[in-house]
Chain A
Amino acid sequence: MTEIIKLSATELAEKLRAGEVTSVQAVQAHLDRIAAVDGGERGVNAFLHLNAEEALAVAAEVDTIRAAGGAEAEALHPLAGVPIAIKDLIVTVGQPTTAGSRMLEGWMSPYDATVITKIRAAKLPMLGKTNLDEFAMGSSTEHSAYGPTRNPWDLDRIPGGSGGGSAAAVAAFEAPLALGTDTGGSIRQPGAVTGTVGVKPTYGGVSRYGAIAMASSLDQIGPVSRTVLDSAYLHELIGGHDPRDSTSLNEPVPALVEAARQGLTGDLTGVRVGVIAELQGEGYEAGVQARFDESLEVLRAAGAEIVEVHCPNFKYALGAYYLIMPSEVSSNLAKFDGVRYGKRVIPADGPVTIERVMGATRAAGFGDEVKRRIILGTYALSAGYYDAYYGSAQKVRTLVQRDFDAAFEKADVLISPTAPTVAFALGSKTDDPLAMYLNDVATIPANLAGVPGISVPGGLSEGLPVGIQFLAPAHEDARLYRVGAALESLLEKGWGGPLISQAPDLASAEKEGVA
């Protein structure tokens, strides 16, 4: 039998239903894997907190229900008993939520995020909380206050960010499923550089109640997995209207699993795929471009019509994002004032006033990147600059939306590389914020316009994964799952199996490192 941890979530769910594996066995197998590869000096460090006791209890409950049979067993969610990891930006009762920040070290949320309520109702055992750039600000997970996560493909490289922990956990077989959040690419870019699948749903498609806000007009929770079909199952579970999130879309979740299964047939006859001219060429590594061009050929062979589309205003998207996002950050993070929850630092000398306590608390509680963004946002929103910066950025947002509207008149989905490069070395960009920001050049336009996007593995360049991104019109997430699953299944035929099976064996890699 295939090792439990190597199964996709869907395969594991089938074995659970068939009684070939118990949920307790599945949870224990993943906990054992985490114990083997996550800790230590050269461990993956995907997890900030482990929730073993509760996960095993939920697993045992699912096993009992299954063993008893009858209506309750029939009513179990398809993913019941399949373990999941949660990005530590999403609040959970019974587990600390840190947002990767010293500010919230040891903070215990008194309430669950809506996505967590749904996961509990569906009885997915939660393995623990995953590492991230502090308050989700970064593209490498190096801005976590709790140390960087390592890329399972090469432990000296970044796993992407901000959701590097969730992506690395899934890539390292520490979990079959994870939750992420995507404000400018934080689900899709880690997916690309770890050879996994990540989806940013349509803005409002998944409730954000209980996701610690970074930039509220951009943030979106979404699924992280090793296969497109697995993400479809998880997306259907967490999606849907939530009255507790006033930006939540009041419409049913699309039939995503059905769309993924349709895609797995490999037939894309009549589907128009638009190649975004502005998101390739200069700045994109040759190896990334080569895998991208091969993907286009595979799609063409599957019957898709490949057309070129132009999005001339995308060149302003990165700049607009780095005005809008910090502005919203400066507002959202004002609540960390050392009064109601989180860290409080008393100034070493001088009078202890609220203002001085706030200044000392925020100085000690926030890391450099968070401070940079708060100051930048405060600048963009300040008198005299507001119209030139924040106001202009909001207009660019309109232009980016118009570019998408025009492109989607010519194509059903758009395609680009997810990230311009493969995973870079840990530490190589931490002193150059601007170089770090450029990682998100291809993912940011979707957040500005609210449209959904998926990253699927597109092959290797110099032994490291390359991601292919599809984008669809708002509300049309199903299209992503169809084309994503089609590309995945066709590429896997060429590779002779999933890309992730080519990843190095972590257990032996670690031994080599020691020797």
Chain B
Amino acid sequence: MSAISREDVVHLARLAHIEMSDAELDKMTGELGVIVDAIASVSEAAGADVPATSHPIPLSNVFREDVVGETLTVEQALQNAPDSEDSRFKVPAILDEE
């Protein structure tokens, strides 16, 4: 079982939107390798005939009436926002160079 490569971790960190220094990437690569090796046996534990379980106690069709419930006021919704303007969340530029 091959451990995670440093390139894998660079890619994963980008997917997860976590900036990492070179030192962090090195450390993370080593630690994840150890962890993945330790848990890899899971992939051989169950045969093809075993169904997957996503929730321990399955419930289905949990619906509610389609009515307006309790809602937050604009002030409540924005009270923790890092930045806001005109009753809206203010988002940094989506695209570069605009």
Contacts and interface: CB of A to CB of B under 8 A. Distances in A.
A449 B72 contact: no
B55 A217 contact: yes
A247 B93 CA distance: 37
Interface residues of B, number: 54
B34 to A, nearest CB: 6
Interface in B10-59: 12-13, 15-20, 24, 28, 31-32, 34-36, 38-46, 50-57, 59
A110 B70 CA distance: 12
A341 B62 CA distance: 29
A494 B56 CA distance: 39
Contact of A363 (B19, B39, B76): B19
A371 interface: yes
A111 interface: yes
A355 interface: yes
A243 B9 CA distance: 40
Contacts of B46: 392, 395-396, 398-399
Contact of B57 (A202, A318, A322, A346): A202
Contacts of B31: 372, 433
Interface of B: 4, 8-9, 12-13, 15-20, 24, 28, 31-32, 34-36, 38-46, 50-57, 59, 62, 64, 72, 76-77, 79-83, 89, 91-97
30 contacts: A107-B80, A110-B72, A110-B79, A110-B80, A218-B56, A246-B59, A316-B41, A319-B42, A322-B39, A323-B42, A334-B17, A339-B82, A340-B77, A340-B89, A342-B80, A343-B82, A352-B92, A356-B92, A362-B19, A371-B24, A375-B18, A375-B32, A376-B36, A378-B15, A389-B43, A392-B43, A392-B44, A395-B50, A433-B34, A451-B56
Interface of A: 107-108, 110-111, 202-204, 217-218, 243, 246-247, 249, 313, 316, 318-320, 322-323, 330, 334, 337-344, 346, 351-360, 362-363, 366, 371-372, 374-376, 378-379, 382, 388-389, 391-399, 401, 433-434, 437, 447-451, 474
